[in-house]
């Protein structure tokens, strides 16, 4: 199982990332979906959303098998809503990340001829602050204080983040860096590309940056 997990994780065709800024958390991802095993990759979708707003103050990025990702999101969004109705309290980002970790752990260990590979980045704001968590395909939950990137293009994206990230970045700087890192990955990773989605989560809530804004900031240097 461990060797199969490593094999399929390396084939995850995407670039997703999260950045912690002074007053916000930024999530970003490319929009390409690919198919293929050991042979050449086939681009099966060019406008697929990989960043999702799950409530007013939280969002996630997704990677892995599309069917597993969609299934887990539906179940977890339902569980979060039920918890909120029962307790009259909004779930914290840590609670949400742990729920994603538990469901991912259970999903990959189900007996199946197709391994249930899925990975998530969870970003959000609650009464305790701004948070960024990585959910590894084996179900591990890891908190990041600065940035994290996942998928086949993450090696390239990490190079940009390592070079340009600085503590206390403004939201605008974070958005620009996210676009720059994903764009760099799409230039070298054939499984990533076809556009970029960016979501900002701050005290105003979670919101997607419009395409016009992406065009504007992508031409500026950081």
Active centre residues (catalytic): 14
For 52-112, the DSSP string reads EEEETTEEEEEEE-HHHHHHHHHHHHHHHHHHHHHHSSPPPHHHHHHHHHHHHHHHHTS--
Closest CA relative to residue 67, chosen from 114, 28, 99, 105: 114
168 token code pair? 């206390």
Tell me how far CA of residue 33 lies from CA of 64, 65, 67, 138, in angstroms. Answer: 10, 10, 12, 22
The beta strands (E) that lie in the chain are given as 16-20, 25-30, 33-35, 42-45, 51-55, 58-64, 118-126, 129-135, 141-143, 147-150, 196-202, 205-208
């Amino acid at each position: 199982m461990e060797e199969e997990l490593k094999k399929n994780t390396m084939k995850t065709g995407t670039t997703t990332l999260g950045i912690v800024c002074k007053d916000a958390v930024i999530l970003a991802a490319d929009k390409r979906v690919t198919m293929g095993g050991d042979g050449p990759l086939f681009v099966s979708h060019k406008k697929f959303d990989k960043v999702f707003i799950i409530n007013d103050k939280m969002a996630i990025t997704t990677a892995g098998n599309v069917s597993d990702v969609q299934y887990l999101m539906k179940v977890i969004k339902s569980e979060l809503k039920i918890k909120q109705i029962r307790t009259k309290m909004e779930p914290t980002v840590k609670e949400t990340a742990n729920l994603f970790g538990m469901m991912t752990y259970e999903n990959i260990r189900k007996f199946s001829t197709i391994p249930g590979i899925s990975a998530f980045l969870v970003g959000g704001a609650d009464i305790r602050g701004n948070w960024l968590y990585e959910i590894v395909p084996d179900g591990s939950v890891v908190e990041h204080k600065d940035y994290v990137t996942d998928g086949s293009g993450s090696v390239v994206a990490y190079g940009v983040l390592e070079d340009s990230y600085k503590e206390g970045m403004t939201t605008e700087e974070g958005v620009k860096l996210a676009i720059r890192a994903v764009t760099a990955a799409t230039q070298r990773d054939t499984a990533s590309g076809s556009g970029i989605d960016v979501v900002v989560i701050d005290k105003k809530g979670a919101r997607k940056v419009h395409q016009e804004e992406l065009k504007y900031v992508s031409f500026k240097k950081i």
